[in-house]
Amino acid sequence: MKLAVVIPTLGRKAVVSRLLSYLEEQRRLPDHVFITAPDESHIESGQAFSYPVSLVLGARGLCAQRNRALEQVVGDFDVVTFFDDDFLPAVDYLEEIERAFTEHADYAVLMGDVLRDGARDTGCSFEEGFAILRQAAIDPPPYHDPVDHPGAYGCNMSIRASAIGDVRFDEKLPLYGWQEDIDFTAQMRRHGRIVRLASLLGVHLGIKSGRVSGVRFGYSQVVNPVYLARKGTMPVRFAAELVIRNLCANVARSLSPEPHVDRRGRLKGNLIGIRHLFTGRVEPEYVLEL
Q: Residue 43 maps to which CATH number?
A: 3.90.550.10
Asked, for residue 287, whether it belongs to a domain, the answer is: no
Residues 115 and 196 in one domain: yes
Cross-strand bridge partners of residue 113: 201
Asked, for residue 266, whether it belongs to a domain, the answer is: yes
153-163 residue pLDDT tens: 989 999 999 99
Residues 159 and 270 in one domain: no
Asked, for residue 71, whether it belongs to a domain, the answer is: yes
Q: Among 204, 223, 241, give the residue marking a domain's end.
A: 204
What are the Cα distances from residue 135, in Å, to 74, 87, 146? 36, 17, 22
Residues 120 and 39 in one domain: yes
Residues 137 and 15 in one domain: yes
Residues 145 and 244 in one domain: no
Render 184-197 in DSSP notation, one character per residue.
HHHTTGGGSEEEEE
Residues 120 and 140 in one domain: yes
Residues 188 and 221 in one domain: no
Residues 78 and 199 in one domain: yes
Supply the pLDDT for residue 209: 67
Asked, for residue 116, whether it belongs to a domain, the answer is: yes
Domain count within the chain: 2
Pairing of the two strands 79-83 and 156-160: antiparallel
Q: What does the pLDDT average to over 217-239?
A: 95
> Is the pLDDT reported for residue 206 higher than 80?
yes
At 210, the pLDDT band (50, 70, 90 cuts) reads low
Q: What does the pLDDT average to over 226-252?
A: 95
The length of the chain in residues reads 290
At 257, the pLDDT band (50, 70, 90 cuts) reads confident
Residues 165 and 268 in one domain: no
46-75 residue pLDDT tens: 788 999 999 999 888 999 999 999 999 988
Residues 113 and 145 in one domain: yes
Asked, for residue 171, whether it belongs to a domain, the answer is: yes
Enclosing domain of residue 225: 214-280
Helix, coil or strand: residue 44? coil
Q: Among 204, 238, 256, give the residue marking a domain's end.
A: 204
pTM: 0.92
Residues 75 and 115 in one domain: yes
Q: Among 204, 224, 240, give the residue marking a domain's end.
A: 204
Supply the pLDDT for residue 200: 98
Q: Do 149 and 228 form a contact (C-beta atoms < 8 A)?
A: no
**Rounded to whole angstroms, how far apart are CA atoms 215 and 116?**
26
Supply the pLDDT for residue 98: 98
Supply the pLDDT for residue 260: 82
93-138 residue pLDDT tens: 999 999 999 999 999 999 999 999 988 888 899 999 999 999 999 9
**Rounded to whole angstroms, how far apart are CA atoms 193 and 149?**
8
Residues 136 and 10 in one domain: yes
Asked, for residue 209, whether it belongs to a domain, the answer is: no
Asked, for residue 267, whether it belongs to a domain, the answer is: yes
- Kindly report the average pLDDT of the chain as a whole number: 93
Asked, for residue 67, whether it belongs to a domain, the answer is: yes
Q: What does the pLDDT average to over 26-48?
A: 91
